[in-house]
Amino acid sequence: MNLEEVDASAWSSLESAAKDPQSGFRFINLCSVDVAGRPQARMVVLRRADTAARLLDVHTDTRSPKWLELSRNPFVTILGFCASTRIQLRLAGTTRLHSPGSDLAEKAWSELSAWTRRTYAGGPPGDELSDDETVPVVAGDEASGKAFFGVVSFRAESLDWFELRRADNRRAGFEYSHLGALVASRWINP
Ligand X SMILES: Cc1cc2nc3c(=O)[nH]c(=O)nc-3n(C[C@H](O)[C@H](O)[C@H](O)COP(=O)(O)O)c2cc1C
Listed in sequence order, the residues at least 6 apart from 180 whose beta carbon sits closer than 8 Å to its beta carbon are 51, 52, 53, 54, 55, 155
Of 57-65, 127-135, 158-166, 172-180, which segment contacts ligand X by CB under 6 A?
Answer: 57-65
100 binds ligand X (CB under 6 A): no
CB atoms within 10 A of CB 99: 13
For ligand X, which residue of 43, 129, 181, 184 counts as binding (CB under 6 A)? 43
Minimum distance, C-beta of residue 29 to ligand X, in the bound complex (Å): 9
Question: Measured between alpha carbons, how far is 52 from 54 in angstroms, rounded to an integer?
Answer: 6
45 binds ligand X (CB under 6 A): yes
Minimum distance, C-beta of residue 49 to ligand X, in the bound complex (Å): 14
Q: Which is nearer to ligand X, 126 or 140 (CB)?
A: 126
Minimum distance, C-beta of residue 39 to ligand X, in the bound complex (Å): 11
Q: How many residues line the site for ligand X (CB under 6 A)?
A: 15
129 binds ligand X (CB under 6 A): no
Q: Which element (helix H / strand E) includes 47?
A: none
Q: Which is nearer to ligand X, 100 or 125 (CB)?
A: 125
| Local structure of residue 120 (DSSP, 8 states) | T
Q: Which is nearer to ligand X, 7 or 57 (CB)?
A: 57
Helix (H, G, I), strand (E, B) or coil at 77: strand
Question: Measured between alpha carbons, how far is 144 from 166 in angstroms, rounded to an integer?
Answer: 51
74 binds ligand X (CB under 6 A): no
Question: Measured between alpha carbons, how far is 67 from 150 in angstroms, rounded to an integer?
Answer: 9
126 binds ligand X (CB under 6 A): yes
159 binds ligand X (CB under 6 A): no
Of 53-61, 81-89, 130-138, 139-147, which segment contacts ligand X by CB under 6 A?
Answer: 53-61
**Burial annotation 116-149 (CB, 10 A radius, 16+ → b, else e):** ebbbbbbeebeeeeeeeeeeeeeeeebeebbebb
Binding residues for ligand X, rule: CB under 6 A, are 27, 40, 42-45, 58-61, 64-66, 125-126
